[in-house]
Amino acid sequence: MKEKINAFLKDVMTLAVVCYQFGDTGKGKLVDLFSSWADIIARGTGGANAGHTICLRGKEYIFNLLPSGILKDSEGKLNIMGSGMVISLIKLSRELRLVHENGYTTNNLKISHRAKLVLPFHIIVDRLKELSLCKGDKIGTTGKGITPAYLSHYAREGVVMNDLLNPDIFVEKVRKMANEAIEMASKAKRDDFFKIMVSPDLDNGIFYHPKKLIDVDMVIKKYLGYAKDIARYICDTDSIMRNSVGKSKILLEGAQGVLLSIDYGTYPYVTSSDSSAEGLAKGVGLKHSDIDLELGLIKGFYMTRVGCGPFTSEAGGEESAELCNNVFKPEEFRREEEAIIEKFFKNGNSVSELMVGRLLRISGGEYGATTKRPRRIGWLDLPLLRYVMEVTGNKNLVLTKLDVLNVLNQIGGEPLRVCYKYRYEGEKPYNYGEVIVKKGQVIKVAIPDPKFLEQCEPIYDSFEVWSEDISKIDSSDHLPINLKILLIYLKRETGANIRILSVGREADQTIFM
């Protein structure tokens, strides 16, 4: 595998791996694979809203903050948490403990002195705000304090890692910041507030104060305590990165996906950072032009979305969105869904679109790594993909999770559908700059406005799925004909340059094209 990777990345020094959909396209596996090639592994956007699973020596580790190369620290690899990240010290200290308790080191971890801190107030405000929104206005955030933390930054009121090295400055800033959260807490229902306060993300209730509601002194005490452990990692990572371009092999690890980017995504149903390669480069102190190769990940012929927001090609449409967005006990939901599928196979019922979605969800393990929420399932949406390829200017794609589609065969060769264009069905014309879209008009490149997307009908092409087990194929020459047809179709429809196929979870289930 090492030789294959080296050959694939022959002239590359800086590689960016970014999702081109709504996140969760199996970046973890790819980044893990490339981390054996890289000298530096860097994250530059988001925070604990992301999640990746690393399997090593038979054990699974889920990290939300630490870069994917962290378990290779003893090999001398630099893991960098860039200035564009928002970091909760509660979470970070837990992840560091997990790493150390399992016998791994973090001697080469570096955290940007300008990375933004997620404080307990941000998590409280994120969750209270989401609770206060009416059903149609909810975003379905991960509740990790991401938007409030970026808001503090852009409101010029944020606290950064470097402040931890100067306790007086830290205390002054934290005291100023607490007010908004305390005010919101005083207006919230006691029960809701209490449930939020006792969550593990808020250290199981230690910041709760029966009279003041939030114990600001405890926040300060705890964070300055964590600071003692992490101070040694804090430094100017931007200058390390700038000085390493062209000299060291750099792997930039994306978080979320371009369709969730604050700048390019289906705003407002997005996260609060720019999750494109451009945002990622900036978040680690580099320029987009420093990237030699950008790999855009998409799932192989299906798609997922977590939380609210438009999903034109959703299998089961609104019924699916309702089902997935009203889950309060995710683990229970998953067990129930598994039982439904088992019963379905026994009884051989007819297959609804919603059921196809459920099958793909179970087969692909499509439940959030961070929140455990069921992911909404849909078909590959080419208008959205064309849009992403247009704004990123990149054609290099990786298709992941292709093995998951085999489940369509188990239910009697259900066709695979690909949405290749939309028909606009809005009664009122939609104005997009100088373009006016009228009812009945066919669209090939998506406009990322939810108000527009909600009024579009997907138009599908149907394909037969291969019956062969592709999980053991190691060369593109041996792909089943039905998969080859789909790849040709994808190239023709989007101009994509398909570089890698992932046909299973293991490293060697990767086909370089």
Q: Which residues pair with 436 in a beta bridge?
A: 431
Provide, rounded to whole angstroms, the least separation between the CB of residue 321 and ligand IMP.
12
Paired sense of beta strands 376-381 and 302-305, if any: antiparallel
Provide, rounded to whole angstroms, the least separation between the CB of residue 325 and ligand IMP.
10
Provide, rounded to whole angstroms, the least separation between the CB of residue 315 and ligand IMP.
18
Residue nearest to ligand IMP (CB): 307
Provide, rounded to whole angstroms, the least separation between the CB of residue 35 and ligand IMP.
18
Provide, rounded to whole angstroms, the least separation between the CB of residue 415 and ligand IMP.
27
Read off the tokens for 85: 């990240």
Q: Is 24 a catalytic residue?
A: yes
Read off the tokens for 100: 């150390």
> Three-state SS for 305?
strand
Question: Which of 14, 93, 108, 142 is close enough to bind ligand IMP by CB under 6 A?
Answer: 142
Paired sense of beta strands 213-214 and 208-209, if any: antiparallel
- Of the residues 52, 113, 122, 153, only one is catalytic, namely 52
Spacing of C-alpha 320 from chain mean position: 20
Distance, CA of 17 to CA of 3 (rounded, Å): 19
Spacing of C-alpha 319 from chain mean position: 24
Distance, CA of 233 to CA of 245 (rounded, Å): 21
Q: Round the CA-based radius of gyration of the chain to a whole number and report it.
A: 23
Distance, CA of 399 to CA of 510 (rounded, Å): 10
E strand map for 210-259: 213-214, 234-235, 250-253
Nearer to ligand IMP, 125 or 227 (CB): 125
Per rule CB under 6 A, count of chain residues that contact ligand IMP: 19
Is 144 a binder of ligand IMP (CB under 6 A)? yes
Is 274 a binder of ligand IMP (CB under 6 A)? no
Provide, rounded to whole angstroms, the least separation between the CB of residue 262 and ligand IMP.
10
Provide, rounded to whole angstroms, the least separation between the CB of residue 257 and ligand IMP.
7
Site for ligand IMP, residues 174 to 213, rule: CB under 6 A: none
Provide, rounded to whole angstroms, the least separation between the CB of residue 210 and ligand IMP.
29
Question: Which of 96, 146, 407, 416 is close enough to bind ligand IMP by CB under 6 A?
Answer: 146
Q: Is 474 a catalytic residue?
A: no
DSSP assigned state of 34? H
Is 307 a binder of ligand IMP (CB under 6 A)? yes
- Of the residues 24, 163, 290, 403, only one is catalytic, namely 24
The residue whose two tokens read 């029966």 is 210
Per-residue buried b or exposed e for 465-494, using 16+ beta carbons within 10 Å of the residue's own CB: bbebebeebeeeeebeeebeebbebbeebb
Nearer to ligand IMP, 121 or 269 (CB): 269
Is 141 a binder of ligand IMP (CB under 6 A)? yes
Spacing of C-alpha 506 from chain mean position: 20
Nearer to ligand IMP, 269 or 430 (CB): 269
Spacing of C-alpha 344 from chain mean position: 31
Nearest to 41 by CA among 25, 52, 55: 52
Please choose, out of 101-109, 140-148, 243-251, 406-414, the segment that lies near ligand IMP by the rule CB under 6 A: 140-148
The stretches of 43-166 forming alpha helices (DSSP H) are 89-101, 120-132, 146-154
Question: CA dist 49 to 121, 182, 255, Å?
Answer: 16, 23, 9
Nearer to ligand IMP, 240 or 384 (CB): 384
Is 262 a binder of ligand IMP (CB under 6 A)? no
Site string for ligand IMP, 371-390 (x = CB under 6 A): --------------------
Site string for ligand IMP, 97-136 (x = CB under 6 A): ----------------------------------------
Question: Which of 17, 177, 260, 501 is close enough to bind ligand IMP by CB under 6 A?
Answer: 260
How many residues in total does the chain contain? 513
Site for ligand IMP, residues 11 to 50, rule: CB under 6 A: 22-24, 49-50
Spacing of C-alpha 299 from chain mean position: 13
Nearer to ligand IMP, 108 or 312 (CB): 312
The residue whose two tokens read 């959703």 is 314
Site for ligand IMP, residues 48 to 67, rule: CB under 6 A: 49-50
Provide, rounded to whole angstroms, the least separation between the CB of residue 240 and ligand IMP.
26
- Cβ(251)–Cβ(27) under 8 Å? no
Distance, CA of 487 to CA of 482 (rounded, Å): 9
Nearer to ligand IMP, 14 or 49 (CB): 49
The one-letter amino acid code at 238 reads D
- As annotated, the active-site residues are 24, 52
Q: Which residues bind ligand IMP (CB under 6 A)?
A: 22-24, 49-50, 139-142, 144, 146-147, 256, 260, 269, 271-272, 306-307
